[in-house]
Amino acid sequence: MKARSVKLKEAHKNNGVSSFCSVLWDLQAQHLVTSSASDLAISIHDPLLHSKPPNILRHHKDGVTALALSPNSTCLASGSIDHSVKLYRFPGGEFQTNVTRFTLPIRALAFNKSGSMLAAAGDDEGIKLINTIDGSIARVLKGHKGPVTGLAFDPSSEYLASIDSIGTVIYWELCSGKTLHILERIAPDTGSDISVLNVLSWSPDGETLAVPGLRNDVVMYDRDTAEKLFSLRGDHGQPICFLSWSPNGKYMATSSLDRQVLIWDVDQRQDIDRQKFDDWICCMAWKPNGNALALIDVMGKFGVWESAVPSSMKSPTDGASSLQSKNSNGLLLFDEDDQEPSISGSLGDINEDDFGQAEPTSRKRLRKQSEFDEKLDEDSDDELNLLPKVESRKKASRNHKESLDDGNMKLRSVMVPGGPKMQEAFQPGSTPVQAGKRRFLCYNMLGSITTIEYDGYSHIEVDFHDTGSGPRVPSMTDYFGFTMASLNENGSVFANPCKGEKNMSTLMYRPFSSWANNSEWSMRFEAEEVKVVALGIDWVAAITSLNFIRIFSVGGLQKYILSLDGPVVTASGFKDELAIVTHASHCLPSNDQMLEFRVFNISNGTQPMRGRLPLTPGSCLTWFGFSDEGQLSSYDSKGMLRVFTNQYGGSWLPLFSTSKEKKSEENYWVVGLNASKLVCIVCKPPDSFPLVAPKPVLTLLSFSFPLASSDLGADILENEFILNNLHLSQTQKRIEEMAAAGLDTTSLDDEAFNMEAALDRCILRLIAACCNGDKLVRATELVRLLSLEKSVKGAIKLVTALKLPVLAERFNGILEERLLNETMGTTACPNSNIDASLTNEVEAHKFIHVVENKIASESAIPLPSPKFSSPLFSKKEKREESAKVVVEKTPNRTVVVENIKEDANHVQFRPSNPFAKASNNQEKSSLFDSIKKMKKTRPRSPFHKIEFILDAALIDPYIVRIWVLDGQVLGAQPVNRAMYF
């Protein structure tokens, strides 16, 4: 039957040179994409408006040798003679990124069914599997002995088929990266002619692999066994150079070096139509929603063959949608239109079971049992008619647990569809690979490590933000291809993914200074990939794909190997602490990540913290690390910063939210944080991460809790109140830790006292806001939170000035209650702290009796009005002479208590405020010199006659508290010193 000839028009100028060209349809057949190995441009055509000029993409530096379009037609990939693979948004054509770079020209590209993985190959004989979400190399497949010219994922994304220029075909198992079958030299040897490439293609149902044969034919091979099934042989007089299945798998188009294109009825195994062209056709693509075939020849001319299948026969698209939906893990839960594939996510469809564990399958197909399987399916469907139908694979391989009954097997198949993807591991502070551009291996509060790739090697530079304090580190030539790094004051550590024939990963540590020569070292891991690295004060950590934590000394000694109970997500180090985030379980159906964090103290060999890591629903972790003060912190993709605190038994506080800060579509790329500020880089669209050049500008953002909109209208004050409380709690914890270690806490004491004063000032402003807003109950709650007596008196003056006498009376009652509690010693000492001996108690009571008598004898002396204060801290000092205790009554008179105990401890006092420094004069003062002289006028209260309270230390660990009223001793109490610390 004679068909109307197809007219071709020029898309690319090949200057009379035969070159391999490519053509693609998008999912809705609204665009045609063409390229040529002799042209560095990619053209996006409108097939309906022929007069409309194409959209031209010019990002490669040399001819474009390969094209691939994601299944949902949102991402276009291109490979070139310039060795790079690039991604674009489609159909707009905006450049996204360089995902990888080879050492030789690219020849083949292919997306898997979900679009989450891109396979790339070329003249250097290796196949890279690239995760499209972050550009990471998931795996490198080695096995071909010639340039790889064709790639094809099977529709279920279990296998990858590849073919090289010498005609060898390899079946790869994606979950393991192993070769299943190697079919040597079954296709033509194309030699050095780069305008002719061997190709191969899976049938839409995934059952058959079509490969050009040695007899100018097309040979069909079995999916699982790689056995030859049949061939299509007709009137081609020279080898096949391209082949393409129709959308429903009923027809196939083949082109040959004889310049013919034949249309085949695959079931009948005969050609049904043909076309003759001036030059041979090097690429073809069936229209996804119509009876048409797009073609392009080696001279860069393209066209569309309308009605490629005679109208009297079944359309090439009939039944195509059902085939596509069946390839989604064998489930018919929805149509393809309802399931829009995504190019984002983690590693494709490889092993969606927990932690990537796949169940073993048998690959031997039992075709003779197909009728029995169909009958079995019908019987099972009757029993499970309420469940979605499951397509029979007509293979024993899909029924890998034959001991189970068929009904239970089908139920399991229905209930375990492919779920949300678990987050891939990432290195904090690193940016994705950008071929030809410098990128960050590490960027933190100390400095940055950058790298740029040249031909076969990289150039690494280390820079410090403060060039005056950081050492000068010479640049380094990287022959390993490092993709991650960590940096601290002492050195840097680098690692790369598995590479080379032995599939080895490398870890290298490089100190900035050392007394010995050749102090840097490296480790190699075979069949084990480093995922994340971290540095501490005297250790190096690497977390690997085998869920191992490998701890090394800075000299390279292998110290510890620990096992994690889930895949690592990220890690960070600070001094002695190593914090690691892992997957606790598979993702929830709501796409929420289930993460867990652990903190290891490397020097002590302990694990002080462990728990679940909270994330905003629907988000993933984007940064994890320590603040400058050592607070563990995390930041998720929804813009929520959390800090771990010991409050409430260990909790994560939401310290910052970008929802009220950033403008639309801005992205905050976190660098680190200190006590009061978040340090980040603001990235504007289309960038989601910072570029090395121009130098990023750091932005400091104040912490802001995600507070509810208060009826008080004092959100800023409330935020300051919570933040000050947090800082005070952290400082008090550090004081306790330093005191327990026997270290001097004087500077922290002053810092804590200043924090208390700042917190009181904030509370006073909140009280004023409450009074103005008529929230008197809230004001009363706030005054109880004031730390200092002076602040309570200030609150009384404030409400008095605001003419709120009732509130002033309540505040005065709160002050009197506080004074009473301090005076009468109502705060009981914990039983655990009472460990003094009976002898000490007796001596303490003797001292009380002596002081009572002496004070009673001097009761006529006017006493100054004292200041009520908290118990005084004491410090012991041995004396050779008998102790003398001096009680100062007035500037002119003193009371002396002598010979209390031979060789007793003479005691020096610090001020009553535990966070204030002791003065030099107090070192030589007697026991009661620490009692401060105060004004005689005091607020009127039931306790205005109390003249002074003495805190004296007699014998460690006791302090004696004495109450005096109108010259009379009301009582005394020996109190254990430990209650004050």
Interval 537-567: pLDDT, tens: 999 999 999 999 999 999 999 999 999 999 9
Question: Tell me: the pLDDT tens digits for 4-38?
Answer: 688 899 999 888 889 999 999 999 999 999 999 99
Q: Is 429 left (phi over 0), alpha (psi -120 to 50) or beta?
A: left
Helix (H, G, I), strand (E, B) or coil at 566: coil
Weakly modelled stretches of the chain, pLDDT under 70:
1-4, 321-420, 455-456, 500-501, 660-664, 825-981
**Hey, which bits of 223-316 come out as E strands?**
228-232, 240-245, 251-256, 260-265, 270-276, 281-286, 292-297, 301-306
pLDDT computed for residue 325 by the predictor: 55
User: CA 766, CA 783: separation in Å to the nearest integer?
Assistant: 10
pLDDT computed for residue 962 by the predictor: 60
In degrees, rounded to 5, the angle at the alpha carbon of residue 594 between the alpha carbons of residues 613 and 586 is 160
User: CA 394, CA 398: separation in Å to the nearest integer?
Assistant: 8
User: CA 55, CA 92: separation in Å to the nearest integer?
Assistant: 8
Residues 6+ apart with CB under 8 A from 358: 175, 351
Domains and CATH numbers, the chain: 9-309 (2.130.10.10), 438-702 (2.130.10), 714-820 (no CATH)
pLDDT computed for residue 85 by the predictor: 94
Report the candidate in 946, 704, 969 with the shortest Cα–Cα distance to residue 850.
969
User: CA 84, CA 87: separation in Å to the nearest integer?
Assistant: 10
What angle do helix axes 746-772 and 776-783 make, rounded to 10 degrees?
A: 170
pLDDT computed for residue 356 by the predictor: 39
User: CA 541, CA 975: separation in Å to the nearest integer?
Assistant: 49
In whole angstroms, what separates CA 20 from the centre of its chain?
Answer: 42
Average model confidence (pLDDT) across the chain: 77
User: CA 941, CA 136: separation in Å to the nearest integer?
Assistant: 73
Residues 6+ apart with CB under 8 A from 788: 756, 757, 760
User: CA 633, CA 620: separation in Å to the nearest integer?
Assistant: 14
Token digits of residue 166: 């010498």
User: CA 457, CA 477: separation in Å to the nearest integer?
Assistant: 7
Helix (H, G, I), strand (E, B) or coil at 314: coil
Percent of the chain with pLDDT over 90: 45
